[in-house]
Amino acid sequence: MNTRRDFLQLFAASAVTLPLTPLSTLAHEMSIIEEKYEGPVLQVAIMGLGNYGGTVAKAMQGCKKARLTGLISGTPAKLKEWQATYNISPKNCYNYENFDQIKNNPDIDAVYIITPNALHMEQAIRVAKAGKHVICEKPMALNAAEGQRMIEACSKAGVSLLVGYRMHFEPKTLEVIRMRKNGDFGKVLFFQGQSGFNIGDPKQWRLNKALSGGGSLMDIGIYSINGARYMVGEDPIWVTAQETKTQPERFGEGVDETIQFQLGFPSGAVASCLSTYAMNHLDRFYLNGEKGFAEMQPSTGYGPIKGRTHKGELTQPHQSHQMVQMEEMADIIINAQTPTVAVDGAEALKDLKIIDAIYEACRTGKKVTLQLG
């Protein structure tokens, strides 16, 4: 882990490779960077240089405590392009066959895995064996059994396993959680989560069962699963679910189009959620309690998040979710900071257990008991 001074040097060197930017924007970015920070910096390699990998990489340019120092990709042209854009040394660039060599690279502390779901487990285990911290996009794995193997591998290697739950650091979300903990809503009674959009390219990996492990539930529905837990403040004890498929020619065997699922919590609160790849404009959370409510729409998009409660509008300022996430994750790894809502492998494993149970409920038509502890 290098110091902030090294980051400033990198920024100065890389500025010449970036597109022309308005002076006001540069001034804002420089003000962020120039905030006094002399502590250690988490050096991160991104694995998987797709669209979301690019979003994370750009956001990290505004980080103080995390820095992009390495790249892992199976596409040589992408490696070359990203090297130039982000001023990454060629010695810190790897492909999927040789990235185990990061073990001997002091310029890389952690690897952020942003690849198709089916690849997460094997890649995470290899990263852990190389002695590097693992940050993995959600869902953490294809199922709970794979997730457990990842947790065990990282524990054995003595490295951290964090999962990309960016909403756990989002200010308006955290305000609703604070209000709920403070008793502002009273006894929580009901949660509704709507997560969906009309998916595009039918040939993309998200519609390939072997790579995705499912369909909308694995990709977008997990937001409502996880959101139900942090909004209600409990882990569910049962689930029921129903699958609807209106376009079987588009959504093949094992690739869910639309799933409605219901969760029951120990307190008696219930959740009703929808996950779909066939409808747009679905990004809404609603929490109802005896004394009040919270509504967020959009609730999980890249932002800005918008929300209101019975006390009025949520006005917390918007910042890049990915930038805040990486800053906070650096603090978790470097300084053992405890986040308001967990982002570790144990947290992600609970979501995987719920996903497994939802699919089981869809197959059997029965209520499935959950044991997440």
Give catalytic residues, as residue numbers.
Answer: 138, 223
CA distances from 55 to 51, 141, 322 (A): 6, 21, 8
C-alpha 270/C-alpha 275 separation (Å) is 17
Question: What backbone torsions phi and psi does residue 176 show, to the nearest 5 degrees?
Answer: -65, -40
Q: Nearest 5°: phi and psi at 222? A: -60, -25
| H or E element that contains 81 | helix 76-86
Do residues 140 and 165 touch, judged by C-beta distance below 8 A? no
Q: Please state, in angstroms and rounded to a whole number, the distance separating the CA atoms of residues 128 and 272.
A: 37
Where on the phi/psi map is residue 63: left (φ > 0), alpha (ψ -120 to 50), or beta? beta
Give me 207's structure tokens.
Answer: 């519609």
Nearest to 187 by CA among 291, 270, 285, 286: 291
Rg (CA), the chain: 21
Alpha-carbon distance values, 30 to 15, 17, 63 (Å): 11, 16, 11
CA–CA gap between residue 165 and residue 184 (Å, rounded): 25
**Whole-angstrom distance, CA of residue 271 vs CA of residue 293:** 14
Looking at this protein, which amino acid is placed at residue 15? A
